[in-house]
Structure 1
Amino acid sequence: MIGGCAPIDAGGSGGGGSDGGARGDGGGSTGVNPLDNPKGTERGLGVIKSAKDLAEAIKIIEKVPTKGRGPKTGYDRDEFGYAWADNAEEIPLAHNGCDTRNDILARDGEKLKYRSGSNCVLVSMTLDDPYTSKTIEWTKQDASEVQIDHVMPLSYDWQMGASRWSRSKRVQIANDPLNLMPVDGSANSSKGDSGPATWLPPAKGIRCSYVVRFAQVALKYDLPVTAPDKDAMLTQCR
């Protein structure tokens, strides 16, 4: 319904999938195992722990093709559309009357509080950040404390083939919940447009899940990764 989005049902306050619960390096997690969340519509990023799931993670990563990074020439954030636009085609949560940023905050946050008279604009929430294991009490007054990470960075996408895409496809990957994660702002800033060979989340227990999500995005959009990045991805799940 276009007239405004209701709070997203992200599975309640507990964990989802088979790996909700404590992370391997401390801290609680309300995130869903990415193997159980192929569309990215469920909350967060849960730990992959079982031998069976680790084997499945390796299979997914092995499917991703490799090539060298192309030039960054011509890249601009605007090439992927207006930031957090609600008009992307054929992705979950789009065209619901709320901008993408608020959709993703609502997907992963708990204790959600909205601006008076709005079903979209969040003013505060609690976030269990998978990248750092921090619990962040976020308010809109300090909005940059939580940033929305493009798991597969848009500049990386551009260099790996998105420069040749239609604008509508670039808008899709920029707003696809599969490629978006609300996280600690300083951790996200340190990442830049790095691939997994040069940047991984500080919380070691989530790294296999992170690279699986990276692979899921690459496969959905038929994008390769660099050979060093693929090697690093495989290493995190072994």
Structure 2
Amino acid sequence: MTAAAVSAVLLAGCTDTGDTGGAGAEDTARASGGGGVSPLDNPDGTKSGLGPIPKGLVDSGAYELIEKVRTKGRGPKTGYKRDKFGYAWMDSADGVPLARNGCDTRNDLLARDGTDIRHRSGSDCVVVSMKLVDPYTGKTLDWTKKKAASVQIDHVVPLSYAWQLGAARWDEAKRRRLANDPLNLLPVDGPANSAKGDAGPASWLPPNKEIRCSYAVRFAQVALKYELPVTGPDKSVMLRQCGG
């Protein structure tokens, strides 16, 4: 795929990556501190980040969407390994956006959510520096590849959580999709992601309270797409974030 084609895929539904001018809705959200698009306006995860859901939650559909998620007890972690979901950031997980575009999943996500993007010399894939409005803390991060761990890619629905809620019985192709689906992936502050671990919403929510309903909705979107239940306590906490 040519560099132009890769850029076209990455920018589907977006107005700006920070490399060029322009002031669309996504730029406005970032300028106001939102850092991304509302999950209700981003059902496939190809638009930037995770922005707040506008006030008026009763009419937003957020609560109703979360209500559709099934519940189940969390099973044992027996047999879980990261490689059960494919090797990290594979570009060959068919059936998800951005797959097989010539760029690995991590760099796809950095380019999706960052601004002031700089690529490695001679590459239209490898991001070496950027700015990121972190949805989990609300902070603006100046990131460089030299301090790579300061920004981590979070699986909104953690892989080991999914394993315990049913993914242990999936075929590997479906697990690879979950691990590399932009809908389930967010570049975020490294320490915040480390604090989350494999917790569900009942045990961990983003420190940034303005984003908690959005986080609950994104968790629900992933669960519904992959027909994955959540625990009863997790669903209760998710509903409360969106007015329930």
Among candidates 25, 31, 35, match of residue 30 of structure 1: 35
The equivalent residue for 1:160 is 165
Q: Aligned partners of 1:71, 1:230: CA distance in 2, in Å?
A: 19
Q: Aligned partners of 2:172, 2:200: CA distance in 1, in Å?
A: 23
The 3 A distance-change label for structure 1 pair 68 and 125 is same
Q: Aligned partners of 1:15, 1:143: CA distance in 2, in Å?
A: 29
| 1:62-73 → structure 2 map (5 Å cutoff) | 62-73=67-78
Q: Which amino acid letter does the alignment assign opposite residue 180 of structure 1? A: L
Contact 1:39 1:178 in 2 (8 A): yes
Cα drift, residue 29 of structure 1: 1.9
Among candidates 200, 209, 224, match of residue 195 of structure 1: 200
Among candidates 12, 15, 21, match of residue 11 of structure 1: 15
| 1:77-226 → structure 2 map (5 Å cutoff) | 77-226=82-231
1:82-120: per-residue Cα shift (whole Å, max 9, x none)? 100000111100000000000000000000000000010
Contact 2:155 2:179 in 1 (8 A): yes
- Hey, which bits of structure 1, 4+ residues long, moved more than 4 A? 52-55
The equivalent residue for 1:51 is 56
Cα drift, residue 204 of structure 1: 0.4
Q: Aligned partners of 1:104, 1:87: CA distance in 2, in Å?
A: 15
Contact 1:65 1:225 in 2 (8 A): yes
RMSD: 1.9
1:49-100: per-residue Cα shift (whole Å, max 9, x none)? 2315664000000000000001100000000001000001111000000000
Q: 5+ residue gaps in structure 2?
A: none
Contact 2:57 2:63 in 1 (8 A): no
The secondary structure found in structure 2 opposite 1:138 is: strand
Q: Aligned partners of 2:77, 2:163: CA distance in 1, in Å?
A: 7
Q: Aligned partners of 1:203, 1:186: CA distance in 2, in Å?
A: 14
Contact 2:66 2:220 in 1 (8 A): yes
Report the TM-score when normalising by structure 2.
0.91
Q: Which amino acid letter does the alignment assign opposite residue 96 of structure 2? A: I
Contact 1:11 1:42 in 2 (8 A): no
Q: Aligned partners of 2:187, 2:30: CA distance in 1, in Å?
A: 19
Cα drift, residue 15 of structure 1: 6.6
Q: Aligned partners of 2:159, 2:52: CA distance in 1, in Å?
A: 25
Q: Aligned partners of 1:83, 1:187: CA distance in 2, in Å?
A: 20
1:8-58: per-residue Cα shift (whole Å, max 9, x none)? 3232155747x9367xxxx71230010000000000111012315664000
Alignment identity in percent? 63
Q: Aligned partners of 1:201, 1:29: CA distance in 2, in Å?
A: 14
The alignment covers a number of residue pairs equal to 233
Q: Aligned partners of 1:194, 1:166: CA distance in 2, in Å?
A: 23
Q: Which amino acid letter does the alignment assign opposite residue 7 of structure 2? A: A
